[in-house]
Amino acid sequence: MKYTEEMILHSESGYCMPFEAPQGQDVDLSLGYGEQVHPETGEKFFHHGIDFDVRRYMLSAVASGIVSGVGNDPAHGICLTIRYGEYEVTYGHLSSVFAQFGQRVKAGQTVALSGERLHIGVRFKGEELNPIEFLTMLYGNIMALQDAGDDGTAGFYEPGPETDYEKDKREIEELMLRFLPHYMDDLRCGAYTVPAHTEQSLRHIFTMGAMKEYFYERMPSLYNPLGLGRKAVPLACKVQNLLIADFLNYLALRHEAYLPGSGGDVKKNFMTKP
C-alpha cells in the first residue's frame, strides 16, 4: 500500500508491544508475515499476520481505542479486534477476552489473555499491513517522544549515513552542542539567512526525491515522518552535507569559529557545491 503521514499513531501506553516479556527473557517471532512454508507438509501459504510463542500472556491495548470485534475464527480461534483511529489490530489464539464489543479501552489496559501462542493482524482503512511495520512505527514514536523529553543531545537510533565530514565528526558535534541553539535563534529572528544557492539545492534534492519516490517507502512515524527507507540514503547524505556546511558557514560568519586546522582564509568557503 502507499504510506502516508496520516498513518502515524501515538501509543500513550509507552509500549510498542501488546505484551511484556519476563525480565531477562526474549520472545521470538514464531511465524512471520507473508509467504511461508509449512514445516511439516512443505506447502507454501500466505500468513496474514505474525505469531509469537507467548503462552498465557496478559495482552494490553497499545493505544486508546474501541473494541470493534470479538469472535471465534476458524483459523485463529478466539479473536479480539481493537480500532485505533483508522487502524484495526486483531489478537488471535486467545484463551480469554476481558473487553466487550463497543467498549472503549485505554492505552496499556489489559484486554485479553493469550492461549498457546498469539497471532497479531493489522489493517489500515481495511487494507492489510505487515504487523512488524506497525509495531516498528509505534516503537519509533515512543523513542521520538522520549528523545524530545531529554536534553536534546541524544543521537540516532539507527546508524546515520556517512557524510563528507566524518573525520571532523567529533569536533562538529562539540560545536553543535555549543552553538546550535544560537544558530536556530538567529535563523528564526532573521539575524542569519541561509544562502540562496543552499536553499535552491535543498529544494532540488527534495523535488528529485519525490520524483524518485524516496518518501514513504516505509510506514511513517514521529521518528521518521517522511517514511524514509534505504532508497533515501543518498538523499539523506546530500541533505546532511548541505546542512552541516551551512552550520559551519554560520559559525565562521557570526562567531569566527572554525574546525581545527581551519583559518580565517576559509571563513566564507564552508558551503558545499550544489
Q: Coil, strand, or helix at residue 69?
A: strand
Among candidate residues 58, 113, 56, 62, the one with its CA nearest the CA of residue 89: 62
Q: What is the pLDDT of residue 147?
A: 66
Q: What is the pLDDT of residue 59?
A: 94
The grid coordinates listed for 59 are 495482552
Task: Quote the CA–CA distance of 235 and 231 in Å, as a whole number.
Answer: 8
Chain-centroid distance, C-alpha 1: 17
Over range 137-146, report the average pLDDT.
79
pLDDT digits (tens, 9 = 90+) for 112-129: 999 999 999 999 999 999
Over range 154-176, report the average pLDDT.
73
Domains annotated on the chain, with CATH: 5-145 (2.70.70.10), 156-266 (no CATH)
Quickly state the pLDDT bin for 80 (edges 50, 70, 90).
very high
Task: Quote the CA–CA distance of 199 and 196 in Å, as a whole number.
Answer: 5
Instruction: Identify whether the C-beta of residue 83 lies closer than 8 Å to the C-beta of residue 77.
Output: no
Question: Is the whole model's pTM more than 0.85, yes or no?
Answer: no
Task: Quote the CA–CA distance of 73 and 265 in Å, as a whole number.
Answer: 74
Paired residues of 29 in beta bridges: 52
